[in-house]
Amino acid sequence: MHGQESLYACGWVILSADSEFELAKLIVGDSGLGQDLRLRQSGIGAHRCITRLPGAGASISLSPKHDLDESTGAIRVIEIGWLQAYSMLFWQTIRQIFEARGALRTFRTALGLLLGLQFKEIRRRLVRRGGGRDNAEDVATFVPTSLRTVKRRKATGGPIRVVMCGHSLARDGAPISQLEFTVRLVRGNVIDPVVVSPSDGPLRAAYEAEGVTVVIQPSGIENALTERDYDRAVTEYSTFLNAFSPDLIYANTSQTFYAVDAANRVQLPCVWNIRESEKKQARFESYSIEIQGRAFACMALADEMVFVSEATRDVWQPFPEGTGSTVVHNSLDPDRLREAEKSWTREAARQSLDLAPQEVSVICVGTVCERKGQRDIVRAFKRMPAALTQQLRIDFIGAHDNQYARDMAGEIAGLPSELGKRLRVSGATHDVARHYWGADIFICASRLESYPRVILEAMARGIAIISTPVFGISEQLCDGETGLFYSPGDTVALAEHLSGLIQNTKVRERLGERARVVFDQRNDFEAMTERYAEIFRDVCSPEPEA
């Protein structure tokens, strides 16, 4: 072994020689013990989980012994499921494997380092939670706390030196939220940040205008397929981060899991800000199964996981011991809202958007993609009576080059010309405020959201909202009071809501007014930024002596 710092959760399984083929995950690294287990086949039942599984926590359910071809060592997979059969890890079987390879001493040392006194607790949890497809899908949730390094802690005094790792500098919700609270904490002398992103974007100028250093640095894991590729890239990334002499690493969105791993390798505290509500099976599906396992294991390496809605935190449970979790709802910077109010009047905004006085303006803000579900709006529009569609102008702000967007464009192009011209698709803009100021109705058709800024922006402007009630949106809006809900894909209900709001101006105005009141009561940007400051201070503070 090269030391405890090289150990991370991987996709290995040990299959017992017992007729029931009970199994469990063995947590190993990419060297030492991991190399010994990287067998072609020992003949005693060791097998590396390289089959394309639905996620890092997948397990393999096997029939009795005849499904193990002893002549070739091949294992025929009967069924793949989520936590199908976690059970006791058979000590004697593992011992036989290492004795067969003349590595018993290595086995004893490595197993002691890996599991220590925590094996019984791991087994207790796996047995207690086993037996279902939809609970505790990922065994990486139960990574021993021995894999978490002892973190360096900041001495008291002075701003916190933070490397803020994001996935983008685009004008999207998560990067903008990070920008806004970062700028406020900088102005309050709470943090001294360096912002790191794998790609450049328009938000870079906003950071630099506040004196914040921005560094464009790819993570290196984009093309990694194996654990070895991943380890090499994350080790290099950890060296890169450590060169800034930070007190803390902040990782924004689940996509920056590699920054959590990198922080742990150089013994730096880390806050992981999760803004996605995808099911566990889908979170890291763009990566190989090996890297998915490492990504899930990062839940055990973060010091604090911050979620933007209760619904999102619920989706990510259970959490490993030693990892804190909290919810900090998104808020909007009131200074930016006031700037928008100075920039536009309703009349000027509508004129700039070529909206006639009698037209009802509907907007949908967000990248055009399957997750955002904008085709619901096109299909609802096609269901509406011609007398109502002639009063509408629908603007989609967030054009993108993907198959979903192309399919939607084709659907719009297939409409009669008189109808098609009432639906417009435009790209992301730095001046989205004019669309809000000119709009009468806002629609969110998303399938997955956590606590979207676009809902807050529509509430702040006092626009009537129609939305799907997915995840944190139900924490933002109340159906019939501050918005109208419809189920994703239910274009009949969406068409009915839209038709009703076109015909009833009073209802439209009432929904918008109530939404604005609730926004004013709940939006507390100062409290949000102070909560992030508290989390950063707590994570960086020296731990009290026992």
- CATH of residue 498's domain is 3.40.50.2000
Average pLDDT over residues 274-291: 83
Q: What is the pLDDT of residues 315-350, one digit of tens each?
A: 998 888 778 899 999 999 998 888 888 889 999 999
Same domain for 169 and 312? Answer: yes
pLDDT value at position 49?
31
- Containing structural domain, residue 225: 160-331+527-540
Examine residue 154 and state whether it is found in any structural domain, yes or no: no
Give 115 or 474, the one with higher predicted confidence.
474
Examine residue 37 and state whether it is found in any structural domain, yes or no: yes
Q: Is the dihedral of CA 25, 27, 33, 34 positive or negative?
A: positive
Helices (H), 25-83: 33-37
Same domain for 319 and 463? Answer: no
Q: pLDDT over 70 for what percent of the chain? A: 70
Distances in whole angstroms, Cα of residue 183 to Cα of each of 11, 208, 224: 40, 10, 34
pLDDT value at position 461?
94
Same domain for 267 and 127? Answer: no
pLDDT at residue 3 greater than cutoff 90? no
Examine residue 369 and state whether it is found in any structural domain, yes or no: yes
Give 296 or 455, the one with higher predicted confidence.
455
Examine residue 225 and state whether it is found in any structural domain, yes or no: yes
Same domain for 350 and 462? Answer: yes
Confidence band of 149 (pLDDT split at 50, 70, 90)? low
What is the Cα–Cα distance from 19 to 3, expressed in whole angstroms? 36
Same domain for 113 and 189? Answer: no
Residue 61, beta-bridge partner list: 79
Confidence band of 154 (pLDDT split at 50, 70, 90)? low
Tokens of 418: 């008189």
Examine residue 149 and state whether it is found in any structural domain, yes or no: no
Q: What is the rounded end-to-end Cα distance, in angstroms, of the chain?
A: 31
φ, ψ at 276 (rounded to 5°): -120, 150
Closest CA to 279 of 127, 122, 471, 467: 471
Same domain for 491 and 360? Answer: yes
pLDDT value at position 533?
96
Give 213 or 19, the one with higher predicted confidence.
213
pLDDT value at position 157?
75
Examine residue 87 and state whether it is found in any structural domain, yes or no: yes
Distances in whole angstroms, Cα of residue 250 to Cα of each of 196, 261, 300, 306: 10, 12, 15, 10
Give 489 or 324, the one with higher predicted confidence.
489
Q: What is the pLDDT of residues 401-450, one digit of tens each?
A: 899 999 999 999 999 988 999 999 998 888 899 999 999 999 999 999 99
What is the Cα–Cα distance from 258 to 261, expressed in whole angstroms? 5
Query: Mean pLDDT across the chain, nearest whole number?
Result: 76
Same domain for 443 and 343? Answer: yes
Examine residue 153 and state whether it is found in any structural domain, yes or no: no
Sheet of 484-485: strands edge to edge? 423-426, 392-397, 360-365, 441-444, 464-467, 484-485
Same domain for 346 and 451? Answer: yes
Least confident of 98-107, 210-219, 352-361, 365-374: 98-107
Please state the domain count of the chain. 3
Cβ neighbours of 503 (radius 10 Å): 13
Average pLDDT over residues 498-526: 95
- Cα Rg of the chain (Å, integer): 26
Same domain for 473 and 383? Answer: yes
Examine residue 146 and state whether it is found in any structural domain, yes or no: no
Do residues 444 and 467 lie in contact, with contact meaning Cβ atoms separated by under 8 Å?
yes
Confidence band of 387 (pLDDT split at 50, 70, 90)? very high
Tokens of 260: 């959590």
Q: What is the pLDDT of residues 43-74, one digit of tens each?
A: 333 333 322 223 333 333 333 333 333 333 33
Confidence band of 400 (pLDDT split at 50, 70, 90)? confident
List for the chain the helix, strand, coil content (%; round to 5): 45, 15, 40
Tokens of 227: 């654990």
Same domain for 273 and 219? Answer: yes
Q: What is the pLDDT of residues 18-45, one digit of tens each?
A: 323 233 333 322 322 222 222 222 233 3
pLDDT at residue 129 greater than cutoff 70? no
Question: Is the entire prediction scored with pTM above 0.75?
Answer: no
Buried b (16+ CB within 10 A) or exposed e, 406-438: eebbebbeebeeebeebbebeebeeebbbbbbb
Same domain for 342 and 465? Answer: yes
Same domain for 531 and 491? Answer: no
Average pLDDT over residues 149-162: 75
